[in-house]
């Protein structure tokens, strides 16, 4: 089973839905705006230009989104796109040799932990956010997880959160205590994830999966549903009852 770092701090019900092969919902417009921002930044950093063609921006998810919804998402992302262009051209951070949208995986007992690092250099880990400036705990933990995937031991990179949702782009460099908090939160969430996935794996073994998928879905779930603003990013929001 593959688990993305961004899932560790959120609702775990999605893992159960995935194991039971529930139908996925199309991406929410909030999620699409974030994807558009990240794609534009990646293209600018790699190629110094960008396209908004749906297939280039959404890649394997392009077929999940109809053209009309994508056009609306692009129009609602215009300010984010303008700020992305301005930031790439004016940031004081050294982007020489920067690697954008690098996907890294690491085996963790019963699952594969995967992360897609927005940007990293020899000296910095950088995470892009489409919201206004707010130092949420899950943002700190996410950077802690990327440090874990990069197997940072002897030398830790500086960590930055770049917020594009305000009137101006804000660069936030994490303090040492914030980095330590992020590492601790990540380790705790990784431990919790391991326990949950182990229980799911034991409950939904191959025989049980065949039974559930071909007959009836369970009327009582193992995982607790945590309703929050993160529900907009969940691929199962269209069927989740929130209880």
In a domain, 242, yes or no: no
Q: Which domain holds residue 219?
A: 2-233
**238 domain residue, yes or no:** no
Q: Into how many domains does the chain fold?
A: 1
What's the confidence (pLDDT) of residue 30?
A: 93
What letters, b where the CB count within 10 A reaches 16 and e where it falls short, cover 54-63?
beebbeebee
Residue 21: which CATH number?
Answer: 3.90.320
Q: Which of 230, 212, 179, 224 has the alpha carbon at shortest distance from 34? A: 230
Is 202 contained in some domain? yes
The answer to whether position 68 is within a domain reads yes
Tell me the pLDDT of the chain (243 aa) as tens digits.
899 999 998 888 888 888 888 888 888 999 999 999 999 999 999 999 999 999 999 998 899 999 999 999 999 999 999 999 999 999 999 998 999 999 999 998 889 999 999 999 989 999 999 999 999 999 999 999 999 999 877 678 999 999 999 999 999 999 999 999 999 999 999 999 999 988 888 887 766 666 555 445 666 778 878 788 888 888 888 887 654
Question: Burial, 77: exposed, middle or buried (Cβ in 10 Å; 0-12, 13-18, 19+)?
Answer: buried
Q: Within a domain: residue 23? A: yes
Alpha carbon separation from 153 to 97, 138, 147, 148, 230 (Å, rounded):
21, 22, 9, 9, 31
Torsion region of 242: left, alpha or beta (phi above 0 gives left; psi -120 to 50 gives alpha): left
In whole angstroms, give the CA distance from residue 217 to residue 209. Answer: 10
Give, as one character, the DSSP assignment of residue 20.
Answer: T
């Amino acid at each position: 089973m593959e688990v993305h770092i961004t899932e560790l701090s959120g609702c775990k019900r999605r893992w159960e839905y995935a194991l039971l092969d529930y139908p996925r919902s199309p991406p929410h417009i909030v999620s699409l705006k974030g994807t558009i921002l990240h794609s534009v930044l990646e293209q600018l950093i790699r190629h110094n230009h960008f396209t908004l063609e749906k297939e280039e921006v959404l890649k394997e998810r392009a077929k999940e989104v109809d053209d009309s919804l994508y056009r609306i998402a692009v129009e609602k992302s215009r300010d984010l796109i303008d700020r992305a262009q301005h930031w790439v051209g004016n940031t004081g951070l050294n982007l020489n040799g920067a690697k954008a949208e690098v996907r890294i995986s690491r085996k963790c007992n019963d699952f594969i932990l995967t992360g897609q690092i927005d940007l990293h250099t020899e000296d910095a880990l950088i995470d892009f956010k489409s919201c206004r400036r707010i130092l949420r705990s899950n943002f700190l933990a996410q950077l802690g997880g990327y440090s874990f995937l990069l197997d940072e031991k002897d030398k830790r990179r500086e960590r930055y959160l770049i917020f594009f949702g305000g009137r101006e782009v804000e660069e936030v460099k994490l303090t040492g205590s914030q980095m330590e908090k992020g590492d601790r939160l990540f380790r705790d969430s990784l431990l919790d994830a391991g326990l949950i996935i182990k229980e799911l794996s034991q409950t939904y073994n191959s025989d049980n999966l065949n039974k559930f998928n071909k007959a009836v879905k369970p009327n009582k779930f193992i995982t607790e549903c945590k309703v929050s603003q993160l529900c907009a990013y969940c691929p199962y929001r269209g069927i989740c009852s929130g209880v």
